[in-house]
Structure 1
Amino acid sequence: MELSSEAKVMTRLLQSWLQSQQGKYLLRRGMNLMQQGNVSAAIATFTDALSKHAQPEEAYLKRGIAYWQQEAFDTALADFEQVIALCPQDARAYNYRGLVRYQLGDEAGALDDWAIALQHQPNHATVRYNRGLVHVQRQQYEEALVDFDIALDQNPLLAEAYLHRGKVKHQLGDMTGAVKDWELALCNDLRLEEAHHLLVRLRQDTADETLCHQFLDLLPEGCSVKLEQQGSLLMLSLHRAVGTPINYFKFPNVLRERLIELEIPEARRFRLVAKAGDSSLAEWDQTYSIYDKAPCPPTHWRAALATTLLLFPPFGIIALVYSAQVRQAYKRGDYPIAARASHAAKKLCLSSGAIMGLMLFGLASYGVYTHVEIEYPNPSAKTALISESESSEDKL
C-alpha cells in the first residue's frame, strides 16, 4: 500500500528532524569527549555529525579546534576555512584560523584574520586578548593595553588578560596598576603562579629600593649602592668611581650602626661587595654579622615597676612582661625582637604617665571649679534668687 503524499511529507519531515537531533547529540557528545581529554574520539564524533547536523559549520569548527589541540595545524586550518566558506561572518573561525597561522609562523596572516574577526564582532574578548599578546611581543605596549582593556570589559573573569595587562603596565612604569592587575588575576585563578611570583618580586624590589635610600647619606661622593635582601642576608653592592677613596675597614661598622637602627626583620648578616670603575672584579667581598657587637637594649624595668605601683597598673604589668623579654631575646641572639620589646615597654610607660597626668589634671580642674563655685557664686544667679525672695514677700 502506497503512502499518500501528505504521509510522505510527514515521513521526510520526521526523518529530517530525527537526523537533526542526532546531529545535535553527536555535537554535544564530541564536546563532552573533548572536555574529558579524549580528543581522538571527539574528532570521530564531530566527523559523524557533519552529515547529520543542520549547521555543519558548527561541527567543522569544533573538529578544527580538536585538530588544533592535537597540533594538527594543517587539518585544523582546512576545517576553519570550511567554516568561513559556509559562514563568512563567523568571528570564531577567523579567531582560530588566526591562532593556527600564528603558530605556523604567519604573524601577518594572524593579525589580518583577527582584524576581520573584529570587523564582525568588535568586542570579541578572545580575539582582543590574542592580538594584545602579539602587540606585547612587538613591544607595542599602548596598542596591547587597549586590546586588553576591551577584552576585560567584555570578560572580567579572563585571568590571564589581567596577568599580561599587569606586565604591560609594569613596562610603562605604572607599578600600582600592575600590582592591582596581578592581584585580580590571582582572585580569578589562584593557579597562576606567574602572577604570584611577579607580585612577590615587585614588592621585594620596592622594599629594597626604599631601604637603599636609607644608606645614601653614608656614602662618599662618587659612590652608589644597591641592596637586596635574601632571607637573613642583606646583599650590599657598592660601586665607587675611580679615584674616590673609601676605608673598607671602617665603612662596614658605619653600615652596621645604620642597620641596627633600622632593625630590618629577618636580617642577621650583611655582605659588602665593592667594585671600582668598570672593573668586573670585586675589590672587597666580606660578610658581617649585624648584631654581634650591638649592646643589649634598655629593659626599662624600673619605669615599668613604677608604672605598675604608682601610675597605671594595667599598662605597667604589660610593660613588665616586655621588659623581661628584652634580655631573653638578646641572650638567644634575636636582637630585633629584643629592641621591639624595649620600645614597647618604653611606650607603655610613657602612655601610662600621660593617662595618669590627664586624670590628675581632670581631678584638679574639678576641684578648682568646685572651690570657685562655693567661694564665688555666680552674681546673676544670686540676683535672680534675691528677686524671687522679694516677690514672694510682696505677695505675703
Structure 2
Amino acid sequence: MDMQSWYTGQKARLIHRRGCTLARQGNHQSAIATLSKAIADHPDVASVYISRGLSHQALGQLNQARQDFIAAIDCAENPAIAYYQRGQLSLAQGSRTDALNDWQRAIAAHPNYGDAHYQLGLAQSETGDFPAALASFNQVLEINPNRAEAYLKRGHVRQQLGDIAGARADWQLAVLNDASLGELVPSSLQPNALTPVQELLQTALQPMQVGVKQRGKTLEISLHRQVGEGVSYFTLPNRLRDLLLPLELAECTQFRLMGYVGNVRGPEWEKTYDLYKDQPCPPSHWPTALAALVTFPPVGVTALLYASQVHWFYRQGKYLDALRASHAVRHLSLVGTGVMCILVAFPLGYTAIQSLQDEPAPPERTARAIDHDFIQIE
C-alpha cells in the first residue's frame, strides 16, 4: 500500500467516525451525508454501509436502510453484523420469518454472536417454541454469563416449561446483575428475601399459617387461623416484636399485623405497630471505647466516634442504627485488644529468643575416676 492510499483510507476512517458521532447526537440527516463521503475510500466499507443504514432506519427510511444492509452483506468479509441488522429491520417491518432467517445467518457467520442468539431466543419464545428459546438463551449466557436480561427471559421460558425452581434461580441472577429488572419478575414467583423471616414466624406461631410481605418500611404479617384456634391479638404484637428484633431488619421500622379466621375474606384484626417501640437505648460502652483508645489509639478513636453516635441515633428514632453503633464499639475494642496483643507478642517473643541464644553454655562436667579395691577372699 502506497502512502497516498494509506492517507486516503485514514481520511475516510475519520469521516466515518464523524458521521457516527453525528448519529449518536441524533443528527441522522447530517450523519447520512457525512457517511456517504466515506464509502468510496474506507478500507471496511461494510461498516460504513451499516452505520448509514442505521441512520436511515432511525429516520424511518426503511427501504434505503435495507439497501445499505444488503450492500454491507455483499461486500463484508464477515456479514454477521449486516445480517443481524437486516433481521432487526425485518422485525420492525413485521416480517418475523425474514428476521429469524437473517439472525440464523448471522449466527452461522459468527457462532458466538450473543445479540443474534438473544434476538433469536426472544422470537422463539414469542412463537411458543420454548425448548428452542431455552437453547438460544443458554447460548447467550454461555457467551456472556453477566447478561441480566438473558437471565430474565430464560426465567420466563423456564416458567412456561414448568421449571419453577429454575425460573426463580434465573430471576434472582437477573436482579443481582441489574436491580431495575426486579419489576419485571412475576411478584408471585420472584425470589423472596423475607423467606427466612416467614419460616421463623411460621415455626413460632404454629398451627397458624403465616405470610410475610414488605411495603416500604412496613413489614406486613398475615396470620390465618382456623375456627376454634385461639389467639390473643393484645399479647401477640409483643411476641412478634421479640422474634423480629434479633433479626435487625434494616429496611423495616414497623410491622402491620393482619389476622384472618377460616374462610372469611376480611381481616378480623388489622393494626400497625412500631417495631422498636419502648426499646431502651443501647449501651454506648464508653469505658470499652476508652480502653480501646489506650490499648490501640487508631482503633480507639473510631470506637469513641461510634460511642458518641449511639444516643444521637436513638434520639433521632433510629434505634437500629444506634444498636449497630453500640455493637461496633465492642467489636472495635476487641480488634484493638487483639492488634495490641499481637504487637506486644512479637517483641516479647523476639527478646525471649535472643535471651536464649545469648545465655552462656553450662560447663562441661568430666567423669570422675573411681578406684575400686578388690578384696581377695582366700
> TM bucket by the smaller chain?
0.5 to 0.7
Q: What is the distance in 1 between the residues matched to 2:307 and 2:21?
A: 67
In the alignment, structure 1 residue 197 sits paired with structure 2 residue 180: yes
2: CA distance, partners of 1:43 / 1:176: 45
Where does residue 115 of structure 1 map in the other structure?
104
* 8 Å CA contact retained: 2:90, 2:98: yes
Instruction: Provide the rounded CA distance (Å) in 1 between the counterparts of 2:56 and 2:305.
Output: 70
- Unaligned ranges ≥5, structure 2: 159-164, 339-361, 372-378
Change (3 A) 1:336 1:118: closer
Equivalent position of 1:6 in the other structure: none
Matched, 1:73 2:62: yes
Percent sequence identity over aligned pairs: 29
Single out whichever of 115-124 and 238-247 deviates more from structure 2: 238-247
Among 137, 143, 147, the residue aligned to 2:135: 143
Is the contact made by 2:171 and 2:191 (CA closer than 8 Å) also made in structure 1?
no
- Deviation, 1:100, is 0.9
User: Residue 124 in 1 paired to residue 113 in 2?
Assistant: yes
Map residues 56-67 of structure 1 onto 2, 5 A cutoff.
60-67=49-56
Instruction: Give the distance between the partners of 2:110 and 2:226, measured in 1 at CA.
Output: 59
Paired amino acid for 2:210: S
In structure 2, the partner of 1:249 is 234
Deviations 1:142-172 (A, max 9, x none): 223323135438xxxxxxx712133246556
1:219 equivalenced with 2:205 (yes/no)? yes
Give, as a single letter, the amino acid of the residue that structure 2 aligns with 1:101.
S
Q: Distance in 2 between matches of 1:349 and 1:18?
A: 69
User: The residue matched to 2:94 in structure 1 has which SS?
Assistant: coil
Change (3 A) 1:34 1:238: same
CA distance in 2, matches of 1:87, 1:347: 64
Determine if contact 1:234/1:270 at 8 Å carries over to the other structure. yes
Query: Is the counterpart of residue 37 in structure 1 residue 26 in structure 2?
Result: yes
Q: Indicate if the aligned counterparts of 2:53 and 2:68 stay in contact, CA closer than 8 A.
A: yes
Computing the radius of gyration over CA atoms, which structure comes out larger, 1 or 2? 1
Question: Is 1:271 paired with 2:256?
Answer: yes
Distance 1:349 1:24 in 2: 63
Change (3 A) 1:29 1:270: closer
Q: How many Å separate the matches in 2 of 1:19 and 1:314? A: 73
Query: In 1, distance between residues paired with 2:11 and 2:315?
Result: 81
How many residues are aligned here? Answer: 323
Deviations along 1:339-358, whole A, 9 cap, x unmatched? 5567678889999999xxxx
Q: Compared with structure 1, are the counterparts of its residues 94 and 279 closer, same or farther at alpha carbon in structure 2 (3 Å cutoff)?
A: farther
Answering whether residue 137 of structure 2 is matched by residue 152 of structure 1, we say no
Where do 1:10-21 residues align within 5 Å?
A: none
Does 1:236 find its partner at 2:221?
A: yes
Change in 2 beyond 3 A, CA 1:182/1:257: closer
For the structure 1 residues 200 and 388, does the alpha-carbon distance in structure 2 shift closer, same or farther, using more than 3 Å as the test? farther
Q: How far off its partner does 1:234 sit?
A: 2.2
Q: Which runs of 5+ in 1 are unaligned?
A: 1-15, 154-160, 186-194, 355-381
Mapping for residues 321-360 of structure 1, pairs under 5 Å: 333-336=317-320, 339=323
Partner of 1:158: none
Give the letter for the 1:115 counterpart.
Q
Match of 1:189 in 2: none
Change (3 A) 1:40 1:338: closer
After TM superposition, give the deviation of residue 115 of structure 1 in Å: 0.9
Q: Which residues in structure 2 correspond to 1:161-200 (within 5 Å)?
A: 162-168=147-153, 173=165, 195-198=178-181
TM-score, with length taken from structure 1? 0.59
- 1:302-352 alpha-carbon deviations (Å, 9 max, x no partner): xx69x97xxx9859xx79999998777666655445655676788899999
Offset of residue 78 of structure 1: 3.7
CA distance in 2, matches of 1:353, 1:123: 56
**Residues 347-391 of structure 1: per-residue CA shift (max 9 Å, x gap):** 89999999xxxxxxxxxxxxxxxxxxxxxxxxxxx9x98x62526
User: Hey, which of these two has a bigger chunk of helix by percent?
Assistant: 1
Q: Is the CA contact 1:297–1:339 (under 8 Å) kept in the aligned structure 2? A: yes
Q: Distance in 2 between matches of 1:277 and 1:251?
A: 19
CA–CA distance in structure 2, aligned partners of residues 85 and 353 of structure 1: 74
> Take 1:348 and 1:31, find their aligned partners in 2: how far apart are those partners?
55
- Report the equivalent of 1:388: 366
Q: CA deviation at 1:40?
A: 0.8
**The residue matched to 2:147 in structure 1 has which SS?**
helix
Indicate the residue corresponding to 2:87 in structure 1: 98
- Once the two structures are overlaid, the 10-residue window that deviates more, 211-220 or 167-176, is 167-176
